[in-house]
Amino acid sequence: MIATAELIARRFERFDREGFAILDHVLSPDQVAELLEATRTYAMGEHDGRLDRRGEVYGGRDLLWRVAEVRRLARSASLMTIVEPILGPGAFAVRGLFFDKTPSANWNLPWHQDRTIAVRRRLDVPGFGPWTLKGGIAHALAPAELLARMVTVRLHLDDCGPESGPMRVLPGSHAAGQVDPGAIATWSARAGSMAVDCLVPAGGAVIMRPLLLHASASGTGQGHRRVIHLEYAAEELPGGLEWYTADSD
């Protein structure tokens, strides 16, 4: 029989190697129901963080700052049990996005890495930029060394099957650091044999490094594919930059 400590060590060794892991039971059915309600209210609201394409709202980028239930979830024991063994004690959520893929708000994304962070105010610190304003909040591309010390938890509120337009990942690609567009083409040429579709039941999660190359195909089914995407760090930013935070709690 394998000791629990050894099982945990093996799981994290694999996460380090592959840059992602799928966990089936992170949220209880009651938590899923509560979050479906909270995100329904959020998605109906008029706010600058809305993500829309051709008039169809498909999510939002200010979920963590707007929704108290999501801030509580981000700090909950069930999520910190996942995040702290990876980032160390004192890890905290820095941004939360909501995605809702449906037949009418559908999308596909090419292979990419998540390199954007949100900060309280723009300061021209080496390694950060180009800068953009999204919903009035300063965002910058962050250096790969910082992104390599972050982790993302993507919580699924619906069953995500092959027809749901699941996220696809290239295992191990996070270890390449920042990948320039030419190298992304090389990686994606290998994608056929290597890519893994992240099929996740409602209440499950994908844990991933932001630098892991990922993509997503359009959904072909009829339902929703709702995801709460939480990004965590365990350090303050250099050069006087500050993570953007909600003003309340």
Ligand X SMILES: O=C(O)CCC(=O)C(=O)O
Considering the complex, what minimum distance in angstroms separates the CB of residue 229 from ligand X? 6
The residue among 32 and 212 lying less far from ligand X, judged by its C-beta, is 212
Gap between the Cα atoms of 233 and 152, Å rounded:
9
Considering the complex, what minimum distance in angstroms separates the CB of residue 101 from ligand X? 6
The residue among 143 and 166 lying less far from ligand X, judged by its C-beta, is 166
- Cβ-proximal residue to ligand X, closest one: 216
Considering the complex, what minimum distance in angstroms separates the CB of residue 113 from ligand X? 8
The residue among 143 and 219 lying less far from ligand X, judged by its C-beta, is 219
Q: E-strand spans in the chain? A: 20-23, 50-53, 56-60, 92-101, 109-112, 116-119, 131-134, 137-141, 151-156, 167-169, 196-197, 205-208, 214-216, 225-233
Name the residues that contact ligand X, by CB under 6 A: 99, 109, 114, 167, 214, 216, 227, 229
Gap between the Cα atoms of 66 and 76, Å rounded:
17
Q: Are 233 and 94 in contact (CB under 8 A)?
A: yes
The residue among 123 and 172 lying less far from ligand X, judged by its C-beta, is 172
CB proximity list for 147: less than 8 A, separation 6 or greater? 113, 114, 115, 178, 209, 210, 211
Considering the complex, what minimum distance in angstroms separates the CB of residue 150 from ligand X? 13
Return the number of other C-beta atoms located less than 10 Å from residue 163's C-beta: 13
Considering the complex, what minimum distance in angstroms separates the CB of residue 222 from ligand X? 17
The residue among 81 and 108 lying less far from ligand X, judged by its C-beta, is 108
